[in-house]
Structure 1
Amino acid sequence: MKFDLHTHHERCGHAIGTIRDYIEAGIRHGLQVIGISDHSPYFASAKDREQPGIAMAKSEFQRYIDEVLKLKAEYAGRIDVLLGVESDFFPEHAELYRKMYEPYPFDYIIGSVHLSGGVSIFNKKRWNGLTDRQKVEQKELYYDLIEQSARSGMFQILGHIDAMRGFYPAFADIQTDAVDKTLQTIAKHNIAIEINTSGKTKDCGGWYPIDAVLERAHHYGVKVSFGSDAHKPERVGDDFEEVAQRLKEIGYREWFYFKEKQPQAVPL
């Protein structure tokens, strides 16, 4: 069975194609399940659309949900369309985001940290001039936010948990126990992490997270899921079979998608 839970579309401002385009791509690529999970609005902002090139406007959120649910009904019997969202995690606004999501029938919510210390995790300049100790501190701050997101109870999946290495591959070599500590918390709260194949499109190459993190995740009993993080339809399901094979080599026997926020096991 083939699924992909992490897809975007044109509403976020940095993806191309409509939701229908991604669903049709899923059918072409042999998926039985596709999750639509565009970027959440910046709910805490006074502006309707805080950052047009990053996330949808608050006024688009209801229309987004309505469109996914309409297409879910239309494609029933051809492909299972799931309602998701990729939610930013800001500890200071967690309750507001929780309140915004509660009225809607989400199948799952992906919790992703995109800002750490007030700076984008993808900003390679954030590492300029830092000492080794300061680099450790930055990595630990990032994983503390991921750990807090795991504890929040808001999410079924945590997104790209080492994406800070996207444009700074040396991130993987920064030594700290924070990664293991975070994985233990994720396991305790029975949340899945995604294998996100969009890392191959960044400077680091490969997938998020790297094998060393996946091996530790397996050791602690962390569930895994799959997401292409497609921002163009042709990337839907990208590297699904290769990821499945790698997971089997690591020792995983199943992975999961989520429907009505309940884990659905898929044998590898």
Structure 2
Amino acid sequence: MLGTMREDPQAMRPPDNHVHTRWSWDTSDSSTMQRACERAVARGLPAIAFTEHLDFTTWTPEDRATADGLVDRHASRHLPIDVDGYFAELEECRGRFPELRIWSGVETGEPHLFAASVAAHLRDSPVDRVLGSLHSLSQDGRLYGVGRLLYPDPDTTMRRYLAEVVDMVEGSDVFEVLAHVDFPRRYWPGGSDRYAEKDYEEEYRAVFRALAGTGRALEVNTTSPLASVDQVRWFHEEGGQAVSFGSDAHQPAVVGQHFDLAVDVVEAAGFRPGRDAFDFWRR
């Protein structure tokens, strides 16, 4: 039975490769790196990656968003990362928690639309981990959060979303981990328990074939409704090589949550610990 293993505190736990702190625009000031590190150590994690949101409300003529005719992002609260503050706190935590490997990172939204802007940010502020995410879809020249688009027609929106994820994978090589592949489930009309994953198997498999073809990792996100063994197995069957674990924490208490269950899911789908405690899990 899934979720009943790994009560031993010395059992191998994977790194948390997806954590947000106050340097992300949607995260409170009380969510500090220090508190997140304290939780990671308490949960026996070998490493943590602070992957702050890298989203764009304005973009350059060189970005595909311009060529696609996008003019703005609807009701945007997105703010840029305070890079100086971020790296100062990161270095402080590296000194404070020598037992924990601490990676820098970003979660870049819609990177296929903003390649030039992402490249400029990473050129000036390189990081250890880059996640790729799709949070928004275009409509009438604007980007809208996908949750807003679900309610009129969830089925069509979900299929469009997964097709856009394929486009993102094929159109951007900047990220090494695909985060929360079915992000819209969080906002599913009537509750995420009404979402029928099997209805979208072929769309998932198209994403997984594209991702596997690049050798990049699929994230098992433990804040999103947790992926089923079937979903992770589809990735394995389509040639997927690596899996990353991410809590997507926006508050310290969430760091590493449900990782025991996520490990059971990933192992049941055919993946095992990688070359060392800091690696992705592999087939």
The aligned residue for residue 182 of structure 1 is 207
Q: Distance in 1 between matches of 2:125 and 2:222?
A: 28
Where 1:161 maps in the other structure, the secondary structure is coil
Closer, same or farther in 2 for the Cα pair 1:45/1:183, shift >3 Å? same
Choose from 35, 38, 61 the match for 1:21.
35
Note closer, same or farther for the CA distance 1:119–1:198 as it changes in structure 2 (3 Å cut). Answer: same
- Equivalent in the alignment of 1:71: 93
Contact preservation (8 Å) 1:225, 1:255: no
Q: Distance in 2 between matches of 1:181 and 1:249?
A: 21
Q: Is the aligned partner of 1:154 residue 2:166?
A: no
SS at match of 1:166: helix
Say whether 1:251 aligns with 2:247.
Answer: no
Q: How does 1:110-129 map to 2 (within 5 A)?
A: 110-117=131-138, 118-123=143-148, 126-128=150-152
Higher-RCO chain (CA-CA 8 Å, sequence separation at least 6):
2
Q: Is the 8 A contact 2:133 2:179 kept in 1?
A: yes
Distance of 1:80 and 1:19 partners within structure 2: 13
Give deviations 1:40-92, integer Å, cap 9, x for gaps.
1426369xxx899854435x1343234324433x1463210001111111533
CA distance in 1, matches of 2:48, 2:276: 9
Alignment of 1:47-196 (within 5 A): 55-58=78-81, 60-72=82-94, 74-75=95-96, 77-117=98-138, 118-123=143-148, 126-128=150-152, 130=153, 135-136=155-156, 138-151=157-170, 152-168=172-188, 169=192, 170=195, 172=197, 174-175=199-200, 177-196=202-221
Local SS of the residue matching 2:127: coil
**Residue identity in the other structure for 1:126:** L
Question: Take 2:201 and 2:256, find their aligned partners in 1: how far apart are those partners?
Answer: 32
- Cα shift readout 1:232-253 (whole Å, capped 9, x = no counterpart): 1111110111111122122222
Q: Shift of the alpha carbon at 1:219?
A: 0.9
Residue deviations 1:19-44, cap 9 Å, x none?
A: 11111211122111011111114263
Q: State whether residues 107 and 258 of structure 1, in contact with CA within 8 Å, keep that contact through their aligned partners in structure 2.
A: no
Q: Secondary structure at the match of 1:116?
A: strand
Q: Does the Cα contact within 8 Å between 1:196 and 1:226 map onto a contact in 2?
A: yes
> How many corresponding residue pairs?
246
- In 2, are the aligned partners of 1:139 and 1:174 still within 8 Å (CA)? no
TM-score w.r.t. length of structure 1: 0.80
Q: Which residue of 2 aligns with 1:231?
A: 250
Q: CA deviation at 1:211?
A: 3.2
SS in 1 for 2:243: strand
Asked if the contact 1:140/1:176 (under 8 Å) is kept, the reply is no
Q: Aligned with 2:169: secondary structure?
A: helix
**Normalization by structure 2: what TM-score?**
0.76
What is the identity, as a one-letter code, of the residue corresponding to 2:214?
A: H
Change in 2 beyond 3 A, CA 1:121/1:173 = farther
Write the distance in 2 (CA, Å) between the matches of 1:97 and 1:70.
26
Structure 1 unaligned spans of 5+: 200-205
Q: Secondary structure at the match of 1:85?
A: strand
Given that residues 48 and 101 in structure 2 are in contact (C-alpha distance below 8 angstroms), is that contact kept between their aligned partners in structure 1?
A: yes
Instruction: Give the percent of matched residue pairs that are identical in Structure 1 and Structure 2.
Output: 20
Letter in 1 for 2:223: S
Distance 1:54 1:84, change over 3 A: farther
Contact 1:43 1:97 in 2 (8 A): no
User: In the TM superposition, what is the alpha-carbon distance from 1:95 to its structure 2 partner?
Assistant: 1.9
Instruction: For 1:113 and 1:266, locate their aligned partners in 2 and report how far apart those are by CA, in whole Å.
Output: 23
Contact 1:33 1:82 in 2 (8 A): yes
The whole-number CA distance in structure 1 between the counterparts of 2:254 and 2:115 is 31
Gap change, CA 1:52 and 1:11, over 3 Å in 2: farther
